[in-house]
Copies of this chain bind each other. A is one copy, B any other.
């Protein structure tokens, strides 16, 4: 064995070791959706820097990248609420127990998941130096419930604001944190504390309140489809699934990639239930005293989970451009300072032009990361468009444009790139919607037999469109046997048939699914 062979062998071994080390380092790959959808989701949320679990049971930390997406959602929704005549306000975090229990159905619905403040002071623990304990002398006379929703505190306030029809309508929204003590939690989808908006409106007439409820449900659908690129089905909840304290709950339901449904937003017609509980009457146009009509409606940080599960793939997050914290990322490829300088000049100019036409972008010129590492990070974070520029591109006056949704790459002349990116972003936004829509539509199955029902549910998933006799009893039994619930009763599509379970007559098909 000569020295040359030995050297080659050693080099080969070193190369292998090096490869392995790199592989280890680069191995930020996610488990695939097929392997374990639930694990894929959790890994993705953490690795994309969206959120993580905290030291507090069931509460999450929304990390900067995740919060930036939430801010985009907030700002768009806020604009839509304001354009439809709503104003923001802020009501207390706490609800005194006596107010909380005033509307009995609402109270009953939330009683089992309430965080309760009982004391207002800590003191030094005499038995543990340096530790604190609850001061037994600082017990509240009346316990305070941390709002799981704010109808009670808000309607106890509206009582003072409303005397006559001239004080109506009241159209208020609140951005807030709420707490529901859930036993099984998942990042974004179900957490003890979550962020949301809750609208609370007060009206003269039943019709006006119903119109508001429907208008908001349409607004939510508009937001979901045109900003989140997430198709939704609009409908009404069955009695079982109606909000505690409401007469009717409108909702938008989306379908996730694993075939489970997700309730993305709800809008409740509260009738006069809260007005009666809090004695809120107004003098109408004829001078008669009437109870006020109410609505409430909300979407939450749960939408973040819906966004992730609608579009993302095995390589990470896929974001619709309208909600991406930055829509375009520039990555320079260079070997020396001079090259970086020329590239930076081009990027600066392009970013300025993109900004002028409303496209947000970022220049990833970190020296601590290699291009490959940057690519991996931007992929997992779902940046819609990546533009790479190297010295050879500059010579040809071109650059490489990569789209995250289809992984396609194009070389484009620099002069044409702004126009190209603008169109590409629209294409991506639309493509994500179309893809999700096809998937959703392929996964709505009409079923007329209960064995088929169970079979489809187990082996295909998705929405099952089936006849139902309209009773709680049937709904509960189906849930017990299959874990499927009625996600919604689509409005305006009557067609007679027989209940899939009881065989009794049914007025229309409803949508069943397993749900988040």
On whether the beta carbons of B87 and A68 are closer than 8 Å, the reply is: yes
Which residues from 251 to 295 on chain A have a C-beta closer than 8 Å to any C-beta of chain B? none
On whether the beta carbons of A181 and B89 are closer than 8 Å, the reply is: no
**A120 in the interface (beta carbon within 8 A):** yes
Write the chain B residue with the least CB distance to A128.
B101
On whether the beta carbons of A55 and B90 are closer than 8 Å, the reply is: no
On whether the beta carbons of A120 and B115 are closer than 8 Å, the reply is: yes
Which residues from 164 to 193 on chain A have a C-beta closer than 8 Å to any C-beta of chain B? 166, 172, 176-177, 179, 181, 193
On whether the beta carbons of A153 and B89 are closer than 8 Å, the reply is: no
On whether the beta carbons of B90 and A62 are closer than 8 Å, the reply is: yes
Write the chain B residue with the least CB distance to A157.
B61
Could you tell me the distance in whole angstroms from the C-beta of A457 to the nearest C-beta in chain B?
32
On whether the beta carbons of A122 and B132 are closer than 8 Å, the reply is: no
**A95 in the interface (beta carbon within 8 A):** yes
> Complex: how many Å from CA A124 to CA B64?
41
Copies in the complex: 2
On whether the beta carbons of B88 and A157 are closer than 8 Å, the reply is: no
Could you tell me the distance in whole angstroms from the C-beta of A382 to the nearest C-beta in chain B?
17
Stretch at the interface among A139-147, A209-217, A227-235, A339-347: A139-147
Q: Which of B56, B94, B144, B181 contacts A92 (CB 8 A)?
A: B56
Stretch at the interface among A28-36, A105-113, A384-392, A470-478: A105-113
| Count, chain A residues at interface, CB 8 A | 63
**A516 in the interface (beta carbon within 8 A):** no
**A63 in the interface (beta carbon within 8 A):** yes
**A48 in the interface (beta carbon within 8 A):** no
On whether the beta carbons of B156 and A92 are closer than 8 Å, the reply is: no
**A60 in the interface (beta carbon within 8 A):** yes
Beyond A56-B153, A93-B179: 4 further Cβ-contacts under 8 Å? Answer: A54-B157, A61-B91, A70-B90, A117-B118
22 A-B residue pairings within 8 Å (CB atoms): A54-B91, A54-B92, A59-B93, A62-B90, A67-B89, A68-B87, A68-B88, A92-B193, A100-B122, A101-B130, A101-B131, A104-B130, A111-B123, A112-B121, A113-B120, A114-B121, A115-B120, A117-B118, A118-B134, A122-B145, A134-B143, A146-B146
Query: A residues touching B (Cβ–Cβ < 8 Å)?
Result: 54-56, 59-64, 67-68, 70-71, 87-97, 99-101, 104, 107, 111-124, 130-132, 134, 143-146, 153, 156-157, 166, 172, 176-177, 179, 181, 193, 195, 368
